[in-house]
């Protein structure tokens, strides 16, 4: 009889434990994505919360989930970083309205800026900036607020072919600060160049982990792409700044909203040319003539660091701009 009671108690405990495990399985939804030792985890249930914001009637307030701070980022060992700075703590990312319950447009927009001339921004760029401001998106393509002839110099960096160091030499000589938007592979493969950018006062902007088209992925995946890059910079370079550029320049209202909600400024441009095609380089004179002909107050200039033409023309471009009353500013100084 005693053995039967023990057996019954054992069975009862097993049933209770099984029930608890099933209930916990419903509450804890874990999403883990690994980017070469950068692990991102989203836990649903206990960390879900609701954000209240201005919304149309009869629309449910969007839910926010959380990408918590990770713990498995690659480290150099003994707290070392490529910059010599202390590693920064990783940050939790709150994903506002992960399912886009507000119905923000998810239409893929290819970014267009128009060709500026006669010292004036193209109307397309002007209207782009007006649209960003009207929707309260934290996005910049043209500085419409500064009263001075300011310029913001930015570079996209997807890979390294030997010209970035020369560009950095020119910027150092001319005392100009720029922003370099880099993907995670670029950062991992060229840590010394990235460390130099940071230590010389430039911005290393977030250009995502895998360079996907943001309108084609979920809002949660967008946050993972940004967080993976941010985690790596924090751990290995002791660095983080809230500037983001959409891969391929492709965006949507939903993507703009999501990136802004993470505290990032989306940086587009109002001046660029086809400098990225290495099979169609036309010489330093062409780069100089093209860029200087399109200068305008408040311009955000996009160049590609892989272009030999840009590297060879950059000093002349800076000199010409300054001789004509322009001042190069950091994105940090943009109002």
Q: Say how far residue 196 (Cα) sits from the centre of its chain.
A: 19
What is the C-alpha R_g of the chain?
24
Confidence band (pLDDT; 50, 70, 90) for 63?
Answer: low
Catalytic residue among 97, 156, 231, 257: 156
How many domains does the chain contain in total? Answer: 1
Is residue 234 assigned to a domain?
yes
Cα separation, 45 vs 165, whole angstroms: 48
Cα separation, 266 vs 260, whole angstroms: 7
The answer to whether residues 273 and 127 touch, using CB atoms and an 8 Å cutoff, is no
Arithmetic mean of pLDDT, 122-128? 98
Q: Is the pLDDT of residue 62 over 60?
A: no
Whichever domain contains 261, its CATH number is 3.20.20.370
Q: What is the pLDDT of residue 13?
A: 46
257, 277, 333, 254: which is closest to 300 by C-alpha?
333
Give the tens place of pLDDT for each residue, 264-275. Answer: 999 999 999 999
Q: Is the pLDDT of residue 42 over 90?
A: no
Bridge-based pairing state of the strands 49-50 and 179-182: unpaired
Is residue 114 assigned to a domain?
yes
Bridge-based pairing state of the strands 93-96 and 63-67: antiparallel
Between 327 and 7, where is the model more confident? 327
What domain range includes position 316?
104-333
Is residue 325 assigned to a domain?
yes
Between 326 and 335, where is the model more confident? 326
Is residue 226 assigned to a domain?
yes
Q: What is the pLDDT of residue 21?
A: 42
Is residue 245 assigned to a domain?
yes
Task: Give percent of the chain above pLDDT 90.
Answer: 75
Is residue 117 assigned to a domain?
yes
Is residue 137 assigned to a domain?
yes
The angle formed by the CA atoms of residues 238, 241 and 245, to the nearest 5 degrees, is 130
First-residue to last-residue Cα distance in the chain:
82
Is residue 265 assigned to a domain?
yes
Segment among 29-43, 92-106, 187-201, 243-257 with least mean pLDDT:
29-43
Q: What is the pLDDT of residue 29?
A: 24
Q: Can 275 be counted among the known catalytic residues? A: no
Q: Can 211 be counted among the known catalytic residues? A: no
Catalytic residue among 202, 207, 296, 304: 304
How high does pLDDT run on average in the chain? 84
């Amino acid at each position: 009889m005693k053995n039967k009671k023990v057996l019954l108690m054992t069975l009862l405990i097993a049933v209770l434990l099984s029930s608890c495990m099933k209930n916990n399985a419903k509450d804890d939804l874990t999403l883990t994505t690994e980017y070469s030792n950068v692990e991102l985890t989203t836990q649903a249930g206990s960390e879900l919360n609701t954000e209240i914001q201005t919304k149309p009637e009869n629309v449910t307030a969007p839910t926010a989930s959380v990408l918590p701070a990770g713990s498995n980022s690659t480290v150099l060992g003994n707290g070392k970083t490529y910059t010599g700075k202390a590693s920064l703590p990783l940050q939790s990312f709150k994903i506002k309205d992960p399912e886009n319950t507000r119905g923000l447009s998810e239409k893929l927009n290819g970014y267009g800026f128009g060709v500026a001339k006669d010292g004036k921004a193209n109307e397309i760029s002007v209207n782009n900036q007006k649209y960003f401001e009207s929707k309260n998106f934290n996005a910049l393509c043209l500085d419409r607020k500064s009263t001075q002839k300011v310029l913001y110099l930015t570079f996209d960096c997807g890979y390294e072919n030997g010209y970035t160091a020369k560009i950095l030499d020119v910027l150092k000589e001319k005392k100009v600060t720029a922003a370099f938007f880099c993907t995670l592979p670029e950062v991992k493969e060229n840590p010394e160049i990235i460390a130099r950018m940071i230590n010389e006062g430039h911005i290393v902007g977030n250009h995502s982990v895998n360079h996907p088209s943001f309108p084609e992925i979920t809002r949660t995946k967008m946050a993972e792409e940004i967080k993976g890059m941010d985690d790596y910079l924090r751990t290995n370079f002791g660095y983080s700044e809230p500037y983001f550029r959409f891969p391929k320049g492709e965006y949507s209202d939903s993507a703009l909203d999501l990136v802004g909600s993470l505290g990032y400024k989306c940086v587009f441009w109002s001046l660029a040319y086809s400098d990225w095609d290495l099979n169609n380089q036309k010489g330093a004179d062409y780069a100089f003539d093209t860029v200087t002909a399109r200068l305008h107050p408040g311009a955000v200039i996009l160049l590609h660091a892989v272009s030999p033409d840009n590297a060879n023309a950059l000093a002349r471009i800076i000199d010409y701009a300054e001789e004509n009353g322009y001042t190069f500013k950091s994105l940090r100084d943009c109002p």
